[in-house]
Amino acid sequence: MNWQQAVERTVTGLGYDLVDCERGLRGLLCVYIDRMPDVVYPTGPGEFVTVEDCEQVTRQLQRVLEVEGCDYERLEVSSPGLDRPLRRLDAFVRFAGSEIDLTLKVVFQGRKKYRGVLRVVGDDPAAGLELVFHEGKESHVLGFVLDEVRDARLVPVVDFKGRSRRDTAAGGATQESGGHEE
C-alpha cells in the first residue's frame, strides 16, 4: 500500500473527509481533513474541524504510516481553511448552492477564472455542473464537467456578527452572494 492509500483509508476510517494530501520539501506530509455533515464526532459537536480532530487523526496516521513503512519526516494535519478546495465530484455535490471561485484548464470566452454559485445539473453530477455568475446586471450560466477544472475553491464567508450561513438563510437579513452592497 502506498502512502496516499494509507492516508485515505485512515482518514475516512475515522469518519473525516480527506480534502487533500501532498508531499512537501524535506519529507513534509500535509493532510487536510474536514468534518462530514450530520456526523457526531467524539471530539465534540460542530461543523468545523477542531484542534482535537487534527490531534486524533495525527496520532492514528503516525501509527499507520509506521506500520505500512511509509517514509516521511514531518506530518501536518489541518483543516482545509475557509477557502476549501473542491477536488472530487462528491465535494462539488456537497457544496452545491455555495459561492465558489472556479479556474478552468482552457480559456472559455476569453477567460479562465469565474466566481459564482455552484449548481448540480440533473440526477447525475458527473454529467455536468453549472456555475451561475453575474456580469454587470446580467446572470450567466457556465456548464462544465470536472475534467475541465484546474482549481475550484469555496469563497470564504466571514461573519463577524456571530451568525452562521444557515441562520441568515433561515430568515435573517443578509446581502446576496455577489459580495457587493448596493
Q: CA angle, corner 10, sides to 22 and 60, nearest 5?
A: 95
Spatial contact of 102 and 113, defined as CB atoms under 8 Å apart = yes
The mean pLDDT value of the chain amounts to 87
CA 58, CA 175: separation in Å to the nearest integer?
A: 39
Place of cell 451561475: 132
Our separate counts of H helices and E strands in the chain read 4, 8
73-94 pLDDT tens trace: 999 999 999 999 999 999 999 9
C-alpha cell of residue 47: 461543523
Average pLDDT over residues 149-153: 97
The model's pLDDT over 94-139, given as tens digits with 9 standing for 90+, comes to 999 999 999 999 999 899 999 999 999 888 887 789 999 998 899 9
Please tell me the pTM assigned to this model.
0.78
